[in-house]
Amino acid sequence: MQDTGVIEFADKPVESLSGGQRQRAWIAMVMAQDTDVVMLDEPTTYLDLSHQVELMKLMRQMNAKGKTVVVVLHDLNQACRYCDHLVVLEKGQLVIQGSPQEVLTEGMLASVFGIQARVFNDPVSSSPMCVIG
pLDDT at residue 16 is higher than 90? no
Phi, psi of 20 (to 5 degrees): -70, -40
Distances (CA, A) of 114 to 30, 41, 68: 35, 24, 31
- pTM here is 0.82
- Give, rounded to a whole angstrom, the gap between the first and last alpha carbons of the chain: 41
> Where are the strands (E) in 15-127, listed by range?
37-41, 68-72, 86-90, 93-98, 117-121
pLDDT tens string 36-77: 999 999 989 888 898 899 889 888 988 999 999 999 999 999
| pLDDT value of residue 1 | 67
pLDDT tens string 79-116: 999 999 999 999 999 999 999 999 999 999 999 999 99
pLDDT at residue 4 is higher than 80? no
Expressed in percent and rounded to 5, the helix, strand and coil fractions of the chain are: 40, 25, 35
pLDDT tens string 17-32: 877 787 778 888 888 8
pLDDT at residue 78 is higher than 70? yes
Q: Which domains, and CATH codes, for the chain?
A: 7-72 (3.40.50.300)
